[in-house]
Amino acid sequence: MDQRGFVPTQSILLAVCASLCCLVVGHACGFAVLVIVGMGALGTVAVGVPYAVGVRRRRTSTWRGNERRAVITSLLGFGVPAGFAIWAWQTPSFDGLLLHSGAAAVGAALVALFFTAILTSSMIDWYLILPFVFGLFGRAIWVDTQLLGEDERVREQHRRRRYAQLWVFHRGVCELLVFSSVAFLLAIALVAIGNALSSDKTLPVAIESLGGAAIGIGIFGYLGERLRGALSFVLSGPVRLGDWVEARDPTGPRARGLVVAVSIHPGVILIGEADLGDDRTPVPLAAANYLSRIDRPDGVDDAWCEEAVIRHLGDDPGDD
């Protein structure tokens, strides 16, 4: 879950793959790649600037070092392909090293969209979700809200629900873009294979029809099942980050614990009183409405909850 290892890898993949697309396809894809990568960069800036202004001196030296690495690698991830895209776009005579068809241009844009969506989603985690969880934007999620005043408790609980919904929402949008890109890339490849096999139109059409149906049913069926629970969670907000909950699904396993994270898969992550090691219980988002809030167990304090969150999400950025 900790983004410090993921961001450099995703940045390198975006920089290399999107830049190669511009070189392979040339002028035809330059503008599309520039727009896609540019939107990802703007999304990162949109969450990065408020983060930098909001936390200022609350970061430790260790976190600032990790942050610098994330910033530098993300700038390279977005900046390198943007530079290649601008060059290809402004060079109409450059038809690419290998391909220069319309289908190739669309494929190049889909590759850029695939990696841009992944990196942008990780940067939202880095600049928005994790700082909230660890208390850089207010109180950390392990602070017991029952000790707060009535008005402050209501506001804090509302914020924890909103961030849980936002966490699932941006991951869902990322998966929608990623799986849609994969589906269309496979469709383009399938059509290209069909056209290459025979000059007779019958065989290519048969391959494209059967393959297209398989791609649509397989990928979008899989994606629909995952996003159905995510949409229900975003609309209803059944649990909040930092809640103690108990699963009451009559058809599922009995579980209770602290909500430390939410994701499309495996869902709501719970850590119970006896699970402070590496054990954790996931509850699918489709079953999140069966989670009922309970009181924090006796003997469990803020320090225990803090350790549970850190074990699952990584080092606390506000801890020396």
Instruction: Say yes or no to pLDDT of 275 above 80.
Output: no
Residues 3 and 123 in one domain: yes
Q: Among residues 70, 105, 138, which one ends one of the domains?
A: 138
User: Which is more confident, 260 or 148?
Assistant: 260
Instruction: Say yes or no to pLDDT of 238 above 70.
Output: yes
User: Is 222 contained in some domain?
Assistant: no
Residues 129 and 14 in one domain: yes
User: Is 259 contained in some domain?
Assistant: yes
User: Is 156 contained in some domain?
Assistant: no
Give the structural domain span for 24: 1-138
Nearest to 119 by CA among 1, 263, 14, 5: 14
The per-type count for the chain, helices as H runs and strands as E runs, is 9, 5
> Helix (H, G, I), strand (E, B), or coil: what is residue 169?
helix
User: Is 305 contained in some domain?
Assistant: yes
Structure confidence at residue 146 as a pLDDT band (50, 70, 90): confident
Q: What is the dihedral of CA 59, 62, 68, 70, to 10 degrees?
A: -100
Which sign, positive or negative, has the C-alpha torsion 169, 174, 180, 183? negative
User: Is 226 contained in some domain?
Assistant: no
Cα–Cα distance for residue pair 47/212, rounded to 1 Å: 38
Prediction pTM value:
0.88
Residues 133 and 248 in one domain: no
| Cβ neighbourhood burial of 286 (10 Å; 0-12, 13-18, 19+) | middle
Residues 131 and 11 in one domain: yes
Cα–Cα distances in Å, from 311 out to 52, 198, 306?
A: 25, 57, 9
Cα–Cα distance for residue pair 34/213, rounded to 1 Å: 31
- In the chain, the number of structural domains is 2
Q: Among residues 110, 138, 166, which one ends one of the domains?
A: 138
Q: Among residues 97, 113, 138, which one ends one of the domains?
A: 138
User: Is 27 contained in some domain?
Assistant: yes
Cα–Cα distance for residue pair 23/105, rounded to 1 Å: 11
Cα–Cα distance for residue pair 189/265, rounded to 1 Å: 29
Structure confidence at residue 109 as a pLDDT band (50, 70, 90): very high
The pLDDT, as a whole number, for residue 1 is 42
Task: Find the range with the poorest average confidence among 96-100, 189-193, 209-213.
Answer: 209-213
Cα–Cα distances in Å, from 132 out to 111, 236, 238, 270, 317?
A: 31, 21, 19, 18, 11
User: Is 200 contained in some domain?
Assistant: no
User: Is 19 contained in some domain?
Assistant: yes
